């Protein structure tokens, strides 16, 4: 059946300017970190991508190693793009990244010019694209000169393979230096993608202020802490959850009783606001208007539909914010 996008797809989504650039991103973006790989149902992946677009989500975030297996999320996205979304390419922001392990040998990870350029070429082939809208250095490389990494990003833009460049998980000092180098090269730093949630607030220790000062945007990954800040773990760890499975990113022993206690208290506050815990968690990261977008993951369409509703109530009273801080203050669950 031929996909035709919903005519009202732009009526309810909120779009935010990315720092001081001309680029706007939807307040909610879709990440393909999990559930879009070769081991997952193609039809479910297709339904999530097309439904997201119908809801006004124009930004789809990938990386070379997303899957599993590595690379397969880009292949899945490429197939959906080819068969369903190709007519809407100019309405979409597609991003990918390089920096984590992708292939054997000395050039298959980190931040060398060789790795970044070769990886993007592979990503473009997997997705069937001539260019991506945003290309990221996925992590800071302590052994490669930052000038080399940033010169590679500049080269990628000048070669027409990306329109904008970003960095992910760089600290405030690294971010400021990366932005300085890029500015001198003539390719400004557009966006930073840090981890940020109610349970992981490290960007508040200088990074967000740095981005504001630089005029760069920000998009938070894991705003729901891989499902921890949803109703999924209110009664412990379900057998079908990511924490109970084979995920290397979220283990069952990370869902401590203290964490569950906090999540239950947050859930009560969310209910009082007329929101699910997931909706309140997304609203919280977007509350100041400083964050350009929140990057959600999903395993089914209903989760995307639920998360979008968060945009109906992004306001918090001072009392609500104080209550959240009180709930979370009892012990530090996460650190930078």
8-42 confidence digits (pLDDT tens)? 999 999 999 999 999 999 999 999 999 999 999 99
Looking at residue 179, what is its pLDDT? 98
Looking at residue 335, what is its pLDDT? 40
Burial of 282 (0-12, 13-18, 19+ CB in 10 A): buried
How far is CA 121 from its chain centroid? Answer: 21
Q: For residue 330, what are the contacts with CB-CB under 8 A and spacing of at least 6?
A: 258, 262
Confidence of residue 271 (pLDDT cuts 50, 70, 90): very high
Backbone angles phi, psi at 30, to 5 degrees: -105, 125
Look at residue 251 and tell me whether its pLDDT is greater than 60: no
Looking at residue 318, what is its pLDDT? 97
How much is the average pLDDT of 122-138? 98
Domain boundaries, the chain: 15-226+287-313
How much is the average pLDDT of 222-227? 95
Radius of gyration (C-alpha) of the chain in whole angstroms: 19
Looking at residue 112, what is its pLDDT? 98
Each residue of 304-315: pLDDT tens digit?
Answer: 999 999 999 999
**Rounded Cα gap, residues 243 and 233, in angstroms:** 9
Each residue of 146-180: pLDDT tens digit?
Answer: 999 999 999 999 999 999 999 999 999 999 999 99
Look at residue 241 and tell me whether its pLDDT is greater than 90: no
- For residue 303, what are the CA distances in angstroms to 231, 299, 300? 11, 7, 6
Q: Which of 61-75, 230-244, 271-285 has the lowest mean pLDDT?
A: 230-244
15-226+287-313 fold: TIM Barrel (3.20.20)
Taken in order 240, 245, 251, 257, the sign of the CA dihedral is positive
Q: Which residue has the tokens 């203290």?
A: 258
Looking at residue 235, what is its pLDDT? 83
Each residue of 84-110: pLDDT tens digit?
Answer: 999 999 999 999 999 999 999 999 999
DSSP H/E element including 78: helix 72-80
């Amino acid at each position: 059946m031929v996909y035709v996008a919903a005519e009202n797809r732009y009526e309810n989504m909120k779009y935010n300017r990315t720092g001081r650039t001309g680029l706007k991103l939807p307040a909610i973006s879709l990440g393909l970190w999990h559930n879009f790989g070769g081991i997952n149902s193609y039809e479910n992946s297709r339904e999530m991508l097309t439904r997201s677009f119908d809801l006004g989500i124009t930004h789809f975030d990938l990386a070379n190693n997303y899957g599993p297996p590595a690379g397969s999320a880009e292949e899945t996205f490429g197939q959906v793009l080819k068969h369903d979304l190709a007519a809407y390419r100019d309405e979409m922001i597609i991003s990918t990244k390089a920096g984590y392990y992708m292939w054997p040998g000395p050039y298959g990870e980190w931040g060398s010019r060789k790795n970044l350029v070769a990886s993007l070429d592979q990503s473009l082939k997997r997705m069937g694209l001539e260019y991506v809208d945003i290309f990221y250095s996925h992590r800071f490389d302590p052994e490669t000169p930052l000038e080399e990494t940033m010169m590679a990003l500049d080269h990628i833009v000048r070669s027409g393979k990306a329109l904008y460049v970003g960095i992910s998980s760089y600290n405030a000092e690294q971010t400021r230096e990366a932005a300085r180098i890029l500015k001198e090269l003539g390719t400004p730093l557009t966006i930073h993608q840090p981890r940020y949630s109610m349970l992981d607030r490290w960007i508040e220790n200088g990074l967000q202020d740095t981005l504001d000062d630089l005029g760069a945007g920000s998009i938070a990954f894991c705003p729901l802490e891989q499902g921890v800040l949803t109703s999924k773990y209110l009664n412990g760890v379900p057998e079908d959850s990511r924490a109970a499975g084979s995920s290397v990113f979220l283990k069952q022993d990370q869902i401590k009783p203290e964490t569950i206690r906090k999540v239950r208290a947050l859930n009560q506050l969310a209910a009082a606001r007329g929101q699910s815990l997931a909706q309140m968690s997304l609203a919280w990261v977007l509350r100041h208007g400083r964050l350009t977008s929140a990057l959600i993951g999903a395993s089914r369409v209903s989760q995307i539909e639920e998360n979008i509703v968060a945009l109906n109530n992004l306001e918090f009273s001072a009392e609500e914010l104080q209550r959240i801080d009180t709930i979370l203050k009892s012990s530090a669950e996460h650190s930078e």
